[in-house]
Amino acid sequence: MFCSDDAGRYWLSRTGGRAAPELFPELLGAYRDLATLATGARSLISLGPGDGSADVELLRVLSGPDRPLEYVGMDINRVLLEHVLARTRTVARSTGIRMDFEGNGGTEWIRAAPGPRLVSLLGNTLGNLDVDEYDFVAKVTGALDRGDCFLVSLACGRFSEQDIADRMNGLSGLRTLLANGLLSSGVVATLDEGEKEVQDAARVEAGTSDIPGCSALKVVHVPSGRRLLNVRRYDPASFSAWMASTFGLLLVDARCVPVPDTTIAVGAWLFRRCGTRCFDGSGWRRRR
């Protein structure tokens, strides 16, 4: 959905590059509070940094006169990545990696960054992944060493039958981005054709999640069977327990920002690796 330059420019023009612009001031405050607890971090590795606003704030919190920081931003979209680097280079030594980090979690770049590290996955990126959450989180957390931190923000709550109807009626707001997904995958030849296909042949269905207590939907292009978008909402207590029991991460602290006039919220969690573990493809084992 975000592969093309046009998709990046559209995202920046429509939302300012932020997944929840109306909540952004409060979310920035939550991110800053949690970042202060990532003591001693020497690098920030951002998986899907949006427009870079959150990362700039994180870098300002983490940096100091005697503590220069390394920044690594990973994004599949060239326009978004260049926009982010133009901002973060004012506060840190910055590197941009254009890649689809869903495949391997960006693990080689996480391991290459100086530690202790803070890895961020903000804007409900986990809830929109095309890949399974377990495999992705296993790869990211498997690259963390003792003392490294993982900052995650997610949409919290549950979808109702009315939410499904609202999602169907509201697809027009996402039509251009979803059409870019069809165009990038070769299902359609032009963006106009893609937008018509989204309008006429996209449906919202029940989605899937690896995490207990998660409520999930997906947008599907019926003729091709292509999944255009996953949308997941999480139960905060279940998510925290899953991260601790499955990956052995310590919950340092969390924040919750309610969405006005709804029953949902945006949650932010900071986890720390207290032991060293690695993922061997079939399960967890202790590093020797």
With helix as H, strand as E and coil as C, how does 158-215 read?
A: CCCHHHHHHHHHCHHHHHHHHHHHHHHCCCCCCHHHHHHHHHHHEEEEECCCCCCCCE
Alpha-carbon torsion (6, 209, 231, 49), positive or negative? negative
Structure tokens at 43: 């690098």
74: Cβ–Cβ under 8 A, 6 or more apart, which residues?
Answer: 45, 46, 47, 48, 49, 96, 97, 98, 99, 101, 106, 109
Question: Are 53 and 166 in the same domain?
Answer: no
Residue 130: pLDDT above 90?
Answer: no
Question: Are 127 and 204 in the same domain?
Answer: no
Question: Are 151 and 260 in the same domain?
Answer: yes
Among the residue ranges 40-54, 178-192, 211-225, 233-247, the one predicted with the least confidence is 178-192
Residue 55 near residue 49, CB atoms below 8 Å: yes
Question: Are 168 and 131 in the same domain?
Answer: no
CA–CA gap between residue 158 and residue 239 (Å, rounded): 13
Question: Are 132 and 32 in the same domain?
Answer: yes
Question: Are 41 and 100 in the same domain?
Answer: yes
Q: What is the pLDDT of residue 74?
A: 92
**Res. 102 pLDDT band, cuts 50 70 90:** confident
Question: Are 130 and 170 in the same domain?
Answer: no
**Cα angle 273, 278, 279; round to 5:** 125
Q: What is the mean pLDDT of residues 93-118?
A: 90
**Res. 231 pLDDT band, cuts 50 70 90:** confident
Query: CATH no. for residue 74?
Result: 3.40.50.150
Which has more confidence, 280 or 114? 114
174: Cβ–Cβ under 8 A, 6 or more apart, which residues?
Answer: 198, 219, 229
Among the residue ranges 116-130, 165-179, 237-251, the one predicted with the least confidence is 165-179
Q: What is the mean pLDDT of residues 82-104?
A: 89
Q: What is the pLDDT of residue 57?
A: 92
* Nearest alpha carbon to residue 118 among 200, 180, 58, 28: 58
5-29 burial, b at 16+ Cβ within 10 Å, e below that, comes to ebbbebbbeeeebbbbeebbeebbe
Mean pLDDT, the chain, integer: 82
Question: Are 126 and 32 in the same domain?
Answer: yes
Q: What is the mean pLDDT of residues 92-98?
A: 90
Q: What is the pLDDT of residue 281?
A: 37
Question: Are 180 and 50 in the same domain?
Answer: no
Residue 243: pLDDT above 80?
Answer: yes
* Nearest alpha carbon to residue 153 among 49, 5, 37, 81: 49
Q: What is the pLDDT of residue 278?
A: 43
Question: Are 88 and 151 in the same domain?
Answer: yes
Residue 287: pLDDT above 50?
Answer: no
Domain that holds residue 191: 161-232
Question: Are 93 and 197 in the same domain?
Answer: no
Question: Are 199 and 64 in the same domain?
Answer: no
pTM for this predicted structure: 0.85
Number of domains in the chain: 2
Domain boundary among 206, 232, 258: 232
Q: What is the pLDDT of residue 164?
A: 63
Q: What is the mean pLDDT of residues 96-112?
A: 88
Q: Give 176-216 pLDDT, tens digit per residue.
A: 767 766 666 677 677 777 778 777 788 888 888 999 999 99
Q: What is the pLDDT of residue 270?
A: 96
